[in-house]
Amino acid sequence: MNFQKTLIAPSILACDFSRLGTEVERLTAAGADWIHCDVMDGHFVDNISFGPAFVEAASRHTKQPLDVHLMIERPDHYFPRFSEFSSSISVHVEAPHDVKKTLTGIRQAGCLAGLALSPPTPISAIEPFLGHFDILLVMTVNPGFGGQAFMPEMLEKVQTGKEWREEKGLEFHIEVDGGVGPATAELSRQAGANVMVAGTSVFKAKNAATEIAALH
Ligand code: DX5
Ligand code: ZN
């Protein structure tokens, strides 16, 4: 696993849903490494975004890996509905499910398994699952909505994750999600993150390719 390379994962939550295919094609041409898909159920977070049919439709417009982020109550029940067309699926440690079993199931389905944590959750919450995930997803805003301000104090979690990875000889990506733009991406990279989720910054930019290059 190469976690030295910085990967940019634009979030389609910020795109024009009426032009999903065109938007995904535009991002792919602009240099997106992964396409981040934020799934919200109105229970785990106070917003409803889209489900498997939407993500499947997006998958038909790109060859880049789809990075699915499940902000939902029963990720163990729903992840199989995404696995066929996704390359990675992240689930929240705060959701009520058997976390180890879900992560194992995601891997068995042929996807990278991600473990996500929300801002109020301490990094210690993911320690029991070290070795069972391929992506540590550190939320840098409260999950639910795009366009919020980056919380720099979350970078401590990124740093700890990186230290644990080194100490224990593990391999996993460290992904930051929320409020990421060129400046906060650089701070995140310095702390040890290698996957940058960016919604607003990429979609609101005049030129997505220039913005993705700046994020790189
Ligand atoms: C928040 C989502 C993020 C977010 C990123 O719940 O998980 O992926 O939409 O969007 P920006 O870059 O606008 O914060
Ligand atoms: Zn996300």
- Reported as a single tens digit per residue, the pLDDT across 103-123 is 999 999 999 999 999 999 999
Domain boundaries, the chain: 7-215
CATH superfamily name and code, 7-215: Aldolase class I (3.20.20.70)
Residues flanking ligand 1, CB < 6 Å: 11, 13-14, 36, 38, 69, 141, 143-144, 146-148, 177-180, 197-201
| Ligand sitting nearest the alpha carbon of 14 | 1
d(Cα 136, Cα 173) in Å, to the nearest integer?
6
Which residues are registered as beta bridge partners of 66? Answer: 35
What confidence tier does 214 reach under pLDDT thresholds 50, 70, 90? Answer: very high
pLDDT confidence of residue 10: 98
Distance 166 CA to ligand 2 centre (A): 25
Ligand 1 atom nearest 142 alpha carbon: 6
- Give nearest CA residue, ligand 1 atom 1: 143
Dist. CA 206 → ligand 2 center (Å)? 22
Residue 6 has pLDDT above 90, yes or no: yes
Residue among 46, 48, 200 to mutate when testing ligand 1 (max atoms within 8 A of CB): 200
| Nearest partner of 203 among 66, 13, 7, 6, judged by Cα | 13
Residue from 145, 151, 202, 215 to probe ligand 1 pocket by mutation (most atoms less than 8 Å from CB): 145
Strand residue runs (E) in the chain:
7-10, 35-40, 66-71, 88-92, 112-117, 135-139, 173-177, 195-198
Q: Which tokens is 87 given?
A: 């390359």
Distances (CA, A) of 32 to 16, 62, 102, 216: 17, 10, 28, 10
Tell which phi-psi region holds residue 168, choosing left (phi > 0), alpha (psi between -120 and 50) or beta: alpha
CA of 164 to the centre of ligand 2 (A): 23
At 209 the three-state DSSP class reads helix
Which tokens go with 168?
Answer: 């224990």
Residues taking part in catalysis? 38, 177
Distance 4 CA to ligand 1 centre (A): 23
User: Maximum Cα–Cα distance for the chain, whole Å?
Assistant: 46
* Each residue's pLDDT tens digit, 45-90: 999 999 999 999 999 999 999 999 999 999 999 999 999 999 999 9
> In this predicted model, what pLDDT tens digit does every residue of 164-187 receive, in sequence order?
999 999 999 999 999 999 999 999
Q: Could you tell me the pTM of the whole model? A: 0.97
Which residue from 123, 62, 63 is spatially nearest to 93, judged by alpha carbons? 123
Using the predicted structure, report yes or no on whether residue 160 has a pLDDT greater than 90: yes
User: How many C-beta neighbours within 10 Å does residue 75 have?
Assistant: 26
* Sign of the alpha-carbon torsion through 158, 46, 64, 100: positive
Q: What percent of the chain has pLDDT over 70?
A: 100
Report how far residue 32's alpha carbon sits from residue 121's, in angstroms, rounded to the nearest whole number: 29
